[in-house]
Amino acid sequence: MKPICTVLLITYNHIDYVRKAIESVLSQKTQYSYIIKIFDDASTDGSSDIIREYAKNYPEKIEAHIAKKNRGEIISVLKCWATRIAVWVL
């Protein structure tokens, strides 16, 4: 079933915050389906490892997009926005 809501998270070297951000979304009680799409812009601090871990543990909820090369904030936002699949985007 197609999710009603897409949650977009963009990160670059946010190891201190990425786990809390993901847990915050996962802990929400909803009556609708959602997917979390996480875009990491080639972090060098281990953020991408945390994102991969969550994507592996929650394959039905989390989709990880890890860039091989840092492209900058604008490109990351545009790429992230282009992948939305639901009616509502957060």
Model confidence pLDDT, tens digit, residues 13-36? 999 999 999 999 999 998 888 989
What percentage of residues in the chain have a pLDDT greater than 90? 57
Mean pLDDT throughout 44-66? Answer: 96
Distances (CA, A) of 59 to 21, 28, 36, 77: 17, 17, 10, 22
pTM, two decimals, is 0.83
pLDDT, residue 53, reads 98
Closest CA to 13 of 41, 38, 49, 43: 43
pLDDT for the residue numbered 1: 67
